[in-house]
Amino acid sequence: MEPVEKTPVAMLEFEHPIVELERKIQDMRHFTSTENIEFKEEIKRLEKKLEKLKEEIYSQITPWNRVQIARHPKRPYTLDYINGIITDWVELHGDRAFADDAAMVAGMGKLNGKSVAIVGQQKGRDVKENIKRNFGMPNPEGYRKALRIFKMAEKFGLPVICFIDTIGAFPGIGAEERGQAEAIARNLREMAVLQVPILIVIVGEGASGGALGIGVGDRVLMCENSWYCVISPEGCAAILWSDRAKAAQCAEVMHLTAADLIKLGVVDDIIPEPQGGAHRDPKAMIDTVKEYIVREMQALLKVPIKELVDRRIEKYYAMGSVVE
Amino acid sequence: MEWFKKSKSGIVFQPKKEINDDLWLKCDSCKEIIYRKEVEKILWICPNCSWHFQINSEIYRAILIDQDSFKEIDRDMGSNDILKFKDKKGYADRIIEHQKKSGLMDAVVTGLGTMEKRPVAIGVMDFRYMGGSMGSVVGEKVTRLVRRATAEQLPLIIISSSGGARMQEGALSLMQMAKTSAALALHAEKKLPYISVLTHPTTGGTTASFAMLGDVHIAEPGALIGFAGPRVIRETIRQELPKGFQRAEFVLEHGFIDVICDRRNLKNLLVTLLNHFMGSKIPGQIEKSDDLFIDAQGNLKKKYQASKAG
Ligand SMILES: [Zn+2]
C-alpha cells in the first residue's frame, strides 16, 4: 500500500563489511595470478575471517534486515522464477473489462511437463520498468485479470501457482473509482472455493489485501527472507507512530517474518535462501523454489479436489486467536 | 419514516450517551448547532443537512430488529494479544481500555432476530471499539454468523463501519478477510441472500472482504467507502482528491453501491429486498437454543443429539 521511497542501493548496509572483505580477497587473488606476488597465506587468513564475519552477521539478522533483503533489486522477481522454472510459457493479458495491468503477470506454462496457470505481482528493476509495472502495486484490473485466469484454470482443470511480491494494492484515485476493494474481495471469495489446487509462494514482499488478493490457497510457502503482514512497516509506522521513519522499529513488532508466520499458522513452509539472501545467488534460489513447488504440487494433485477445497476452507476458518 | 409509525414492534429508542451529554450538538457536516432531541427523534440525522451521524450497534439493532427478538451469539468473545504487540501502548492494555470505555467486548455484535417477523442473521459493527477495526474477534464472529445463517438457511445482513484490518494482530487480522469471504462463498452456494449495509466510514480490509460481497450493497448518505484511506492516497499521488471522492454518492456513481438509503427507510428497504429474494411468506421460528454447534458438513446440530449419536 505504500510507495517505494527510492530504488534501494545494490548493497545493504548490514552486509557492507562482508561485501568489502569479499572484494579485498578477490583483489588479492587477482594480484596473485597477474603480478605473481604470493598472497596465499594472507588470502587464507582473510577467508577464515570472512566465514566468521558471515556467521556473525547472518546469525543476528533482524526482521528489518529481512525486509531490506526482500527489497533488494537483485532479488529474483516473479518473471525470473517463471523463466527459470516454467517451460512453454504464454503470458496472457487484460481483464476483459478495462485494461491490462503490468503490475500483475498472468499466463500458462508447464511445470515439469504438466500445464499450470500462473499469476504474480511483478516489480521493475529500473525506473523505466518500475513506472510500467507501477512498482508491483496492482490496480483493480490486475486482480480481475488474476481472477479471469483462476476461472480459466478451473474450467480446464489446471492447478494454480501464485507468486506474491507487492507492498500492496495501489492507493490511487482510479483504483478507488474502479473498485479496488471489490476486486480484492471477490478474489478472496472465489479462491476459497476454486475447484483446482492453489499453491502460493511469497517470494519477496507481501502487504495487506494487495498480497492476499492472489494469496488464498491450499499451501502457502514463504521464502526465508520474504515478509508478509497486514500492512507494510512504513504504513504501520505512519499510522501508529505518525512517523514513517519508525519503519525499522515497526518491523520488529509486526511478526512479519516466515518463522513468525509458521507459528501463527498463516504459512505452511519456509523455502531456505542462499546464505545472505536470494540476491547473493539468484540461480540457486530459483532452483530451490522449483524443487519446493514441484514437490508441493505433486502432493496437492494426489488429493481429491473436493477434499482439498474442504481442507482449504477449514484451514482459513481456524486462523485467528480469540478469548472465549 | 412510514415504517416507523406502522411498525407494531414499538421501538424503544435509547441511544447510549456517546455523542455528548449536552442538550445541543454540532453537526459533523454542516457544523450547525442543533437541538439534540431533534436529531435523536429522526434516528440521528441532521435536520439541517441530512448528515447521518455515526450510531452504535445498539441503536441499529433498535432501528432494524423487532423488539425482544434479538438473540446475541458469541457475546463473550474477546481479543487476545497473541503477538504481545506494543506501540505507544500495549495492545493488551488497549483491549481492556476499549472494553471499559465502550461496554463492548469487541467491534462487532452478531446474532439472530426477526425483521417484520422475518428471521435474519445480523451482524452490526461498532466504530466505538477501536475504530471498528477487524482483528480475530470480528473475523471469527462474522464467520460464525455466516455459517450459522448457512446452516439455518437464513438471509444475512451485515452493517459495516470500520477503519479496516486491526494492525495489532498483524497477519492474523489479514487472514480474517480470507476467512469471512470463504464463509460467504458457502452461504452464497446455498442461494441465500446477503445484504451488505455500508455506513460511515467503511474502509480497508473490511471493504476488501465481506462488505463488498453482498447480493445488494446499501450505503448511508455521505458515508466514506473505499479501500485506501484518503490520506494515504493523497500522500501517494501527491495531488488533491476530487470533491466527494469515496463518498457513498461517488461510489454509487462508479458502480459499487446499489442504493443509497436514508436511515429512516432502511428497515423498510431491507424487508422489501428480503421479500423479493425469499418470497413474502414468512418461514418458521429461528432456533434460539444455546445448545447448538455446526458440524463439519455445515449442518446445525443440537449438542445432545451429537453426544447420543457419537
Ligand atoms: Zn448538518
State the best of A187, A249, A323, A324 to mutate against chain B, taking most chain B CBs within 10 Å. Answer: A323
Contact A171 B140 (CB under 8 A): no
Q: Does domain A67-319 have CATH number 3.90.226.10?
A: yes
pLDDT in tens, A104-150: 999 999 999 999 999 999 999 999 999 999 999 999 999 999 999 99
pLDDT in tens, B23-52: 899 999 999 999 999 999 999 999 999 999
User: Which ipTM was obtained for this model?
Assistant: 0.94
Contact B167 A186 (CB under 8 A): no
Judge if B101 and B43 occupy the same domain. Answer: no
Judge if B24 and B9 occupy the same domain. Answer: no
Q: Are A122 and A115 in contact (CB under 8 A)?
A: no
At B257 the pLDDT is: 98
Percent of chain B clearing pLDDT 90 (strictly above): 80
Contact B226 A230 (CB under 8 A): no
What number is the average pLDDT over the span A172-185? Answer: 98
* Cα-to-chain-centroid distance, residue B42: 20
- The residues near B215 (Cβ < 8 Å, ≥ 6 apart) are B188, B193, B194, B195, B277
Contact A229 B174 (CB under 8 A): yes
B-chain residues near A176 (CB < 8 A):
226-228, 233, 245-246
Q: Does B116 touch chain A if contact means CB atoms closer than 8 Å?
A: no
What number is the average pLDDT over the span A200-205? Answer: 98
Q: How far apart are CA A215 and CA A48, in angstroms?
A: 43
Q: How far apart are CA B267 and CA B269, in angstroms?
A: 5
Judge if B186 and B269 occupy the same domain. Answer: yes
| Pick from A171, A256, A316: CB nearest B182 | A316
What number is the average pLDDT over the span B45-63? Answer: 96
At B54 the pLDDT is: 96
**pLDDT reading at B20 higher than 70:** no
Judge if B105 and B46 occupy the same domain. Answer: no
Judge if B23 and B118 occupy the same domain. Answer: no
User: Any idea which of A169-178, B7-16, B293-302 has the lowest mean pLDDT?
Assistant: B7-16
Q: How far apart are CA A153 and CA A311, in angstroms?
A: 20
At B292 the pLDDT is: 76
User: Any idea which of A28-42, B42-56, B282-296 has the lowest mean pLDDT?
Assistant: B282-296
What number is the average pLDDT over the span A252-273? Answer: 97
User: Residue A241 — very low, low, confident or very high, per pLDDT cuts 50/70/90?
Assistant: confident
Pick B11 or B62 by higher pLDDT: B62
The full set of domain ranges for chain A reads 13-60, 67-319
What number is the average pLDDT over the span B57-64? Answer: 97
Structural domain containing residue B258: 2-14+56-309
State the best of B72, B133, B134, B177 to mutate against chain A, taking most chain A CBs within 10 Å. Answer: B177
What number is the average pLDDT over the span A69-84? Answer: 97
Q: Are A211 and A297 in contact (CB under 8 A)?
A: no
Judge if B151 and B285 occupy the same domain. Answer: yes
Judge if B28 and B143 occupy the same domain. Answer: no
CA of B263 to the centre of ligand 1 (A): 15
Contact A212 B178 (CB under 8 A): yes
Q: Binding residue per annotation — B49?
A: yes
Number of domains in chain B: 2
What number is the average pLDDT over the span B6-18? Answer: 41
**pLDDT reading at A4 higher than 90:** no
State the sign of the Cα–Cα–Cα–Cα dihedral A144, A150, A151, A152: positive
**A–B: how many Cβ contacts below 8 A?**
202
At B9 the pLDDT is: 39
Contact A188 B77 (CB under 8 A): no
Judge if B136 and B233 occupy the same domain. Answer: yes
- The residues near B164 (Cβ < 8 Å, ≥ 6 apart) are B133, B134, B203, B204, B205, B206, B207, B229
- Per the document, the length of chain A is 324
| Pick from B176, B205, B246: CB nearest A320 | B176
Pick B258 or B290 by higher pLDDT: B258
Please give the grid coordinates belonging to residue B99: 472494553
At B288 the pLDDT is: 66
What number is the average pLDDT over the span A86-93? Answer: 98
User: Any idea which of A236-250, A294-308, B57-71 has the lowest mean pLDDT?
Assistant: A236-250
Judge if B235 and B278 occupy the same domain. Answer: yes
User: Residue B304 — very low, low, confident or very high, per pLDDT cuts 50/70/90?
Assistant: low
Judge if B196 and B286 occupy the same domain. Answer: yes
Element spanning A219, H or E = strand A219-223
At B43 the pLDDT is: 96
Residues lining ion ligand 1 (Cβ < 5 A) are B 27, 29-30, 46, 48-49, 51
Contact B175 A319 (CB under 8 A): yes
Task: Decide: helix, strand or coil at residue B253.
Answer: helix
At A8 the pLDDT is: 43
At B1 the pLDDT is: 30
Q: Please, where are the H alpha helices in A114-223?
A: 127-133, 140-156, 173-177, 180-192, 208-212
Percent of chain A clearing pLDDT 90 (strictly above): 88
Q: Which residues of A55-67 are buried (b: 16+ CB within 10 A; e: fewer)?
A: eebeeebebbbbb
Exposure of A1 in the CB half-sphere (CA atoms within 13 A):
31
Judge if B261 and B237 occupy the same domain. Answer: yes
Residue B148: which CATH number? 3.90.226.10
Which residues is A110 bridged to in the sheet? A87, A115
Closest Cα in chain A to B172: A320
Exposure of A282 in the CB half-sphere (CA atoms within 13 A):
17
At B46 the pLDDT is: 96
Single out the residue of A148, A139, A190 nearest to residue A169, CA to CA.
A139
Exposure of B300 in the CB half-sphere (CA atoms within 13 A):
18
**pLDDT reading at A321 higher than 80:** yes
pLDDT in tens, B74-131: 999 999 999 999 888 999 999 999 999 999 999 999 999 999 999 999 999 999 999 9
pLDDT in tens, B145-198: 999 999 999 999 999 999 999 999 999 999 999 999 999 999 999 999 999 999
| Pick from B170, B233, B256: CB nearest A173 | B233
Judge if B106 and B22 occupy the same domain. Answer: no
User: Residue B291 — very low, low, confident or very high, per pLDDT cuts 50/70/90?
Assistant: confident
A-chain residues near B243 (CB < 8 A):
none
